[in-house]
Amino acid sequence: MTDPTPTSAPTPRRESPGWVWPVAVVLVAAALIAVVLLVSDRNSGNEQPTTGSTLPGTTDLVETMRAEGLTVLADLVVESGLATRLAGLGPFTVFGPTNEAFAALPPEDVDQLKANQEQLQQLLAYHVLKGRFFSADIPPEGLEVNTIEGENLSVTADGDTVMVNQATITDGPVPATNGVLYVINAVLVPPSLAPEVPVVTVPPSPTLPLPEATTTTLPPTTTTTAPLRNLVDTLDELPDYSTFAELLDGTIVQNLLRQTGPYTVLAPTNEAFEALDPDVLEAMEDDATLRNNVLSGMVFTGKITSSDLEPGPITAVNDETWEVEITGAGADLTVTVSGAEVVNPDVMASNGVIHGIEAVLLPPDFTIPTTTTTTTTTVPATTTGG
């Protein structure tokens, strides 16, 4: 900031127009109000839920753990193989035990977990929820939330203290690019692992009061404060699926996905479309019938979440049948649909669910249309005459 004391001979004072000071006062007041509202909203935990990966934050959840000092947790996440998922699109909510919480576990139990990757994955996955969870009132009876490990966590509140099972939330919510992190003072043990891993808590530091933003429960992003949008509008908000959304524009399939449904959409990523033969993509862009046929092959009746998927055939609204394959377990679980891996599952909409896939599903009899001066031929049973 420049020192207001002049260092040289003063220059003659110039009179400012009469309107300058009132305008300046208004602008400064507006800026101060904006800052106060922003700080107030942040401190009260009223961050508005968002879709996709647009939550404020500059690092993914794994790097956010390290930034918050949860280095043991971050190292174990990497060692378990769960890091790839927690660094992906998400979004997820992570309840992260402190280094002291892990240190309180018997060393032999930690060694046992490190020697058994499946158990380590199970333990860590029990700390992770699908979606972003923010502060709101806890019902008197508490709240049960499902983890990606498959078993439930119990969330309760007693005054300014919020408990997740036997652990106390001591800090958070800490935003990440793909979710949100809460710091807890104990390692959460799923009931199925309870005989192998003891429950040990570390008393919260008296110098670290529970942040105001975590004095109440953690409801999902599907609260009435941010109602879900329909499948078309939800796709429009996902930057990694913009090509699919653009191809939908003006099609019969787009009209279908605005209806009550519910429907399930397998949406290829932008990279999946880039990997196509350019002639195939051009043909889809130019031929509305062909485009509708391909896109409708990736839409299914009903709301089919990732937990509902089972190995075997699945039939799209255009009667095209694909094969679902499920391999691995825990963090290594892989779901493919006729060879296209599901890379971003369970993006919820008001009338269904979207699963991101890494390849475009083309009908087995798909052919690039051939154009003559009078006739365009598309895939069988969908032809247009000249």
Domains, the chain:
61-214 (2.30.180.10), 231-377 (2.30.180.10)
Q: What is the pLDDT of residue 6?
A: 41
Question: What is the C-alpha separation between 311 and 325, in angstroms, rounded?
Answer: 5
Q: What is the pLDDT of residue 260?
A: 82
Q: What is the pLDDT of residue 371?
A: 58
Question: What is the C-alpha separation between 44 and 212, in angstroms, rounded?
Answer: 6
Question: What is the C-alpha separation between 300 and 314, in angstroms, rounded?
Answer: 8
Q: What is the pLDDT of residue 211?
A: 42
Contact between 87 and 153 under an 8 Å Cβ cutoff? The reply is no
pTM of the model: 0.43
Question: What is the C-alpha separation between 114 and 136, in angstroms, rounded?
Answer: 36
Q: How many CB atoms lie within 10 A of CB 139?
A: 11
Q: What is the pLDDT of residue 120?
A: 92
Q: What is the pLDDT of residue 3?
A: 40
Question: What is the C-alpha separation between 69 and 52, in angstroms, rounded?
Answer: 26
Joined tokens for residue 288: 């509305």
Return per-residue pLDDT of the chain as tens, 386 residues. 444 444 444 444 444 445 444 444 444 444 444 434 333 333 333 333 333 333 356 788 999 999 999 999 999 999 988 888 888 777 888 999 999 999 998 888 888 888 888 899 999 999 998 887 765 555 667 788 888 888 899 988 887 788 899 999 999 888 888 888 999 999 999 988 865 444 444 444 444 444 444 333 444 433 333 467 889 888 888 888 988 999 988 888 888 898 888 899 999 999 989 998 888 888 888 888 888 889 989 999 998 888 788 889 999 888 889 999 988 765 567 889 999 998 888 888 888 889 999 999 988 888 876 654 444 444 444 333 43
Sign of torsion over alpha carbons 279, 285, 287, 291: positive
Question: What is the C-alpha separation between 292 and 5, in angstroms, rounded?
Answer: 72
Q: What is the pLDDT of residue 49?
A: 33
Contact between 229 and 349 under an 8 Å Cβ cutoff? The reply is yes
* Alpha helices, DSSP H, located in the chain: 20-43, 61-67, 71-80, 83-86, 99-103, 107-115, 117-125, 231-236, 242-248, 252-256, 270-274, 278-286, 288-296
Contact between 136 and 48 under an 8 Å Cβ cutoff? The reply is no
Question: What is the C-alpha separation between 204 and 35, in angstroms, rounded?
Answer: 32
Q: How many CB atoms lie within 10 A of CB 258?
A: 12
Measured N-to-C along each axis, helices 278-286 and 288-296 cross at an angle, to the nearest 10 degrees, of 110
What letter does residue 68 receive in the DSSP assignment? Answer: T
* Partners of 326 in beta bridges: 335
Q: What is the pLDDT of residue 201?
A: 44
Q: What is the pLDDT of residue 380?
A: 46
Q: What is the pLDDT of residue 193?
A: 82
CB burial readout 84-101, b (16+ within 10 A) else e = ebbbbbbbbbbbbbbeeb
Q: What is the pLDDT of residue 62?
A: 92
Joined tokens for residue 64: 């956010």
Helix (H, G, I), strand (E, B) or coil at 241: helix
What letter does residue 212 receive in the DSSP assignment? Answer: G
Q: What is the pLDDT of residue 378?
A: 45
